[in-house]
A and B are shown apart, each in its own frame.
Chain A
Amino acid sequence: MSTDRPLVIIVDDDPSMRMSIESLLRSVGHAVQSFASTQEFMQGAQLDAPGCLVLDIRLPGRSGLEFQRELASREVELPIVFITGHGDVPMSVAAMKAGAIEFLTKPFRDQDLLDAVHRGLELDSQRRSEAAMLAELSQRRETLTPREREVMALVVAGRLNKQIAAELDLSEATVKVHRAQVMRKMEAKSLPDLVRFADSLALDTTRS
Chain B
Amino acid sequence: MSVRPKVREDHPFLLSTAPVSRAQSRAASGVLGLLGAAMLVTVPFAQVPIDNSQVLVPAYAIAVFIVDLITAALLLAMYSVQRSRAVLALAIGYLFSGAMVLPWALTFPGVAQSLGLPEAGLQTTAAIATLRRLGFPLLVLAYALMKETDPDPQHALESERRVIAGTVAAVIAIVGGLTWLVLTSEDALPRFMQDENRVTAHWRYVPVSAMALCGAGLFALWVRRRCVLDIWLMVVLCTLLIEIILLAYLSSGRLSIGWWAGRLFGVVSASIVLVVLLAETMTLYARLARSILAERRARETRLTALGALSATIAHEINQPLASMVTNANAGLRWLGRPDPDLAEVRAALERIVDDGHRSASVIEGIRAMFKKGTQERVCVNVNDLVTDIIRRDLSEAKLGRITMQTDLDPHLPAVTGNPVQLQQVISNLVANAIDALSNVTDRERLLRVRSSQSDADHVLVSVEDSGTGLDPALRERIFEPFQTTKTDGMGMGLMFCRSVIEAHGGRIWVMDNAPNGAIFRFTLPSAEELMSLTGEATP
Contacts and interface: CB of A to CB of B under 8 A. Distances in A.
Interface in B275-330: 311, 314-315, 318-327, 329-330
B334 interface: yes
Contact of A27 (B311, B333, B354): B333
B333 A107 contact: no
A23 interface: yes
A27 B315 contact: no
A16 B334 CA distance: 17
B391 interface: no
B358 interface: yes
B344 interface: yes
Interface in A105-125: 106-110, 113
Contacts of A208: none
B337 interface: yes
Contacts of B324: 107
A20 B323 CA distance: 6
Contacts of A58: 315
A44 interface: no
A28 B322 contact: no
Interface in A6-64: 14, 16-17, 19-21, 23-24, 26-28, 58
Interface residues of B, number: 27
A20 B326 contact: yes
Contacts of B331: 23
Interface in B250-280: none
A17 B316 CA distance: 13
Given A107-B326, A110-B326, A16 B333 contact: no
From B330, B331, B333, B347, residue with most partner A Cβ within 10 Å: B330
Given A16-B327, A16-B354, A17-B322, A23 B314 contact: no
Contacts of B311: 86
A14 B323 contact: yes
A19 B321 contact: no
A106 B318 contact: yes
A85 interface: yes
Contacts of B358: 16
A200 B318 CA distance: 48
Given A24-B330, A27-B334, A106-B318, A16 B344 contact: no
B326 to A, nearest CB: 4
A85 B315 contact: yes
B330 A27 contact: yes
A24 B329 contact: yes
Contacts of A27: 330, 333-334, 337, 341, 344
Nearest to B325: A107
Contact of A23 (B318, B319, B320, B347): B347
Contact of A16 (B323, B329, B341): B323
Contact of A106 (B319, B327, B334): B319
A20 B318 contact: no
Interface of A: 14, 16-17, 19-21, 23-24, 26-28, 58, 85-86, 106-110, 113
Given A16-B320, A17-B319, A27-B333, 7 more contacts: A16-B354, A19-B351, A20-B323, A20-B351, A23-B344, A106-B321, A107-B324
Interface of B: 311, 314-315, 318-327, 329-331, 333-334, 337, 341, 344, 347-348, 351, 354-355, 358
Question: When A and B form their complex, which 7 residue pairs have the shortest distance between CB atoms, in order from nearest?
Answer: A106-B322, A110-B329, A24-B330, A107-B322, A27-B333, A107-B325, A23-B330
9 contacts: A14-B319, A20-B330, A23-B334, A24-B326, A24-B333, A26-B330, A85-B318, A86-B314, A108-B325
